[in-house]
Structure 1
Amino acid sequence: MEIYRSRAPLRISFAGGGTDVNPYASRYGGLVLNATINKFAYTSLVRSEQSDISVTSYDFDKTTHFCSSTLESPFSDACFVRSVYKHLMGQACGLKVITHNDAPPGSGLGSSSAMMVSIIGAFNEMESLSMNAYEIGRLAHDIERLELKQLGGMQDQYAAAFGGFNFMEFDGDSVLVNRLKIDPWVVRELEYNMILVYTQKSRLSSTIIEDQIKNVEDKKASNIDAMHQIKQHALDMKRVLLRGKTNEFGELLHEAWQQKKQMASSITNAELDEMYEAARKAGAIGGKVSGAGGGGFMMFYCEHNKKREVVSALEKLGARVESFKFELDGVESWRNQRVEQHLRHRLMIA
Structure 2
Amino acid sequence: MMHHRRERVIHSSAPIRINDIGGWTDTWFSGEGKVVNMSARPGVKVRIRVTEGPPAAANRVSMHAVNYRETFSFDPNNPDFTVHPLLQAAVAACPPAGDQSLDITIQSAVPAGISTGTSASVCVALLGALFSLRGDVPPPENIARMAHRVETEKLGWQSGIQDQISAACGGIRFIHMPSYPEFRTEILLLSENTRMELENRLCLIDPGGSHSSTALHEQVIRFLEKKGTGFRILRQLRDLADRAHLALLDGDLSDFGSIMSSNTELQRALHTDLISPEADRIIETARSFGAAGWKVNGAGGRGGSLTILGPGDPERRQRMKKALADLGGDIRELPVFLDDRGLVIDDIREPGQEPVGHSE
Give the TM-score of the pair, scaled to structure 2.
0.88
- Superposed, 1:252-271 pairs within 5 Å as 252-271=259-278
Q: Which ranges of structure 1 fall in alignment gaps of 5 or more residues?
A: 343-350
Structure 1 letter corresponding to 2:44? A
* Residue 170 of structure 2 corresponds to residue 163 of structure 1: yes
RMSD over aligned Cα atoms = 1.9
2:339 maps to 1:333: no
The residue number in structure 2 matching 1:206 is 214
Partners of 1:215 and 1:224 within 8 A in 2: no
- Distance change >3 Å, CA 195–CA 85, structure 1 → 2: closer
Contact 2:36 2:175 in 1 (8 A): yes
Deviation at 1:143, TM superposition (A): 0.6
> Residue 297 of structure 1 aligns to which amino acid in structure 2?
S
Preserved CA contact (<8 Å) 1:282 1:313:
no
Counterpart of 2:323, as a letter, is A
CA contact 2:112–2:119 (8 Å) conserved in 1: yes
* 1:134 aligned residue: 141
Hey, what's the Cα distance between the residues in 1 that align with 2:307 and 2:24? 17
Give the 5 Å matches for 1:103-142. 103-142=110-149
Residues 1:312 and 2:317 aligned together = no
Aligned residues: 335
Of 50, 69, 84, which aligns to 2:90? 84
Whole-Å separation in 2 of the counterparts to 1:320 and 1:213? 31
Q: Which of 237, 258, 261 lines up with 2:244 in the alignment?
A: 237
Q: Which amino acid aligns with 2:344?
A: E
| Contact kept in structure 2, 1:223 and 1:263, CA below 8 Å | yes
AA at the equivalent of 1:331: L
3-state DSSP of counterpart to 1:59: helix
Name the TM-score, length of structure 1 as normaliser.
0.90
Find the aligned partners of 2:196 and 2:165 in 1 and give their Cα distance. 24
Q: Deviations over 1:300-345 (max 9, x none)?
A: 112321312221221121321122210111101111245x959xxx
State the distance in 2 between where 1:277 and 1:138 align.
38
Post-superposition offset of 1:90: 6.3
1:183-207 deviation digits (Å, cap 9, x = unpaired): 2221110112222111113222112
Conserved 8 A contact 1:117-1:161: yes
Q: Is the Cα–Cα contact under 8 Å of residues 91 and 126 in structure 2 kept in the other structure?
A: no
3-state SS of 1:261 partner: helix
- Partner of 1:346 in structure 2? none
- Quickly say closer, same or farther: Cα 1:91–1:14, change in 2 above 3 A: closer
Matched residue SS, 1:233: helix
| SS of equivalent to 2:138 | coil
Q: Distance in 2 between matches of 1:38 and 1:151?
A: 25
CA distance in 2, matches of 1:78, 1:239: 40
What residue identity is the alignment partner of 1:117?
Answer: V
- The letter for the 1-side match of 2:74 is F
Q: Percent of counterpart pairs with the same letter?
A: 24
Label 1:72 to 1:159 Cα distance change in 2 as closer, same or farther (>3 A).
closer
